[in-house]
Amino acid sequence: MAETSSAKHSFIRSMAKRLLAPLVTSAVTAASAYLTRKASALAQEKLLPKLQEKGGGRAVAHEALTAVADKVPEPASGPIETLAEKVEDDEAGREAERRGREQRRSQRRRTLEQSGSS
């Protein structure tokens, strides 16, 4: 008698798992989609303005690396400082490239205006 009760309980548990598995899967999928949308909106509203306020992602990375280098012991701080300098140098290089592109665009505009006016 105890054996049939155990088998019956096992059967009910097995059926419940089979019936609930698709519902649980759907619920998890919906929850992850919701959280993805909310995380994206939160990043747009809260995180990006703060990054822009501090000068962009590279400036924040440079600031964080410099702060970490100041707090760790000397043997480890050297590579961190080197990395912080590379991040900062890349920003300066990008700015120089941007200015160069802008100057070339301006030169092309002037050339087109001069050729169109003659």
Mean pLDDT for 84-90 is 74
What is the reported pLDDT for 115?
A: 86
48 alpha carbon, distance to own chain's centre: 10
Is 6 a member of any domain? no
- pLDDT of 34 higher than 90: yes
Is 48 a member of any domain? yes
Q: What angle do helix axes 74-117 and 57-71 make, rounded to 10 degrees?
A: 160
- pLDDT of 90 higher than 70: no
Q: Are 69 and 84 in contact (CB under 8 A)?
A: yes
What is the reported pLDDT for 92?
A: 63
**Closest to 86 measured CA to CA, from 78, 76, 97:** 78
What is the reported pLDDT for 3?
A: 61
Q: Which domain holds residue 76?
A: 41-118
Taking only the tens place, the pLDDT of each residue in 40-67 is 888 888 888 888 888 888 888 888 888 8
Is 89 a member of any domain? yes
Is 95 a member of any domain? yes
Report how far residue 29's alpha carbon sits from residue 47's, in angstroms, rounded to the nearest whole number: 25
Is 65 a member of any domain? yes
Is 22 a member of any domain? no
Is 17 a member of any domain? no
Taking only the tens place, the pLDDT of each residue in 97-116 is 888 899 999 999 999 888 87
What is the reported pLDDT for 27?
A: 93
- pLDDT of 74 higher than 80: yes
Is 100 a member of any domain? yes
